[in-house]
A and B are shown apart, each in its own frame.
Chain A
Amino acid sequence: EAGVTQSPTHLIKTRGQQATLRCSPISGHTSVYWYQQALGLGLQFLLWYDEGEERNRGNFPPRFSGRQFPNYSSELNVNALELEDSALYLCASSPGRSFGSNQPQHFGDGTRLSIL
């Protein structure tokens, strides 16, 4: 069974540009989560999508946004990039809301976003 896949592996942008990160969940999972792992800040929750809708959002500015497609894959968009957005962005998936809120989340290998 394929795990969570993310693309690209690395992404280099400059300040002010926009970045798009992609994630495909484990087959059969309907929930997708995004986390930011920045140096010195640890892992922070960004967004949760389930069944195509945003279900929860972390404490990040509106320039961080995303969406979930009918096949449950997801995109994370970051607009007006700033230097402090440099981080590893991790996507995770789980079976979905109907399975309860304590399901473990399964992570991909991440996209390393570097802002020059």
Chain B
Amino acid sequence: GNSVTQMEGPVTLSEEAFLTINCTYTATGYPSLFWYVQYPGEGLQLLLKATKADDKGSNKGFEATYRKETTSFHLEKGSVQVSDSAVYFCALNRGNNRLAFGKGNQVVVIP
């Protein structure tokens, strides 16, 4: 069935560094893809989405492009801030409105 895979392990980087978090998906058809962010002690916030191939979602300096040829939806930000420290989840719609999430990546930005 439809699923997403995120790269293993936390990501630690310095302020103003470039951030990439990899996400690949397996799907029949072309489900919408999402990135959610979870700050400590909070629920998930929708960060961005893309609904079809070649769509680029963007928000708060973050971007991700729906790549059909590589079945990927990598999250990028050109210059991270300490306030971007959070857990980031890639997700897609598995059908029948159920979201499938990746395992999440803890991002720690050091001043």
Are A58 and B43 within 8 A (Cβ)?
no
B69 within 8 A of A: no
Bound Cα distance A20, B43 (Å): 19
Stretch at the interface among A11-19, A71-79, A101-109: A101-109
Bound Cα distance A35, B98 (Å): 10
Are B89 and A90 within 8 A (Cβ)?
no
B46: which of A45, A106, A108 is its contact (CB, 8 Å)?
A106
Bound Cα distance A110, B51 (Å): 27
A31 within 8 A of B: yes
Are A56 and B98 within 8 A (Cβ)?
yes
Work out how many contacts link A and B, with CB atoms closer than 8 A: 61
Bound Cα distance A54, B40 (Å): 31
A63 within 8 A of B: no
A43 within 8 A of B: yes
Interface size on A, residues (CB 8 A): 26
B36 within 8 A of A: yes
Bound Cα distance A58, B101 (Å): 13
Are A101 and B93 within 8 A (Cβ)?
yes
Note all chain A residues with C-beta closer than 8 A to B10: none
Interface SS majority for chain B: loop
A109: which of B43, B97, B104 is its contact (CB, 8 Å)?
B43
Bound Cα distance A6, B42 (Å): 11
Note all chain A residues with C-beta closer than 8 A to B42: 109-110
Bound Cα distance A6, B94 (Å): 25
| Contact surface of A with B, Cβ cutoff 8 Å | 4, 6, 31, 33, 35, 42-43, 45, 48, 50, 55-56, 58, 90, 92, 94, 97, 101-102, 104-110
Other than A6-B43, A33-B98, A92-B44, give 18 A-B pairs with Cβ distance below 8 A: A4-B43, A31-B97, A33-B99, A42-B101, A42-B104, A43-B89, A43-B104, A45-B94, A55-B97, A56-B97, A90-B43, A97-B97, A101-B95, A104-B32, A104-B34, A105-B46, A107-B44, A109-B42
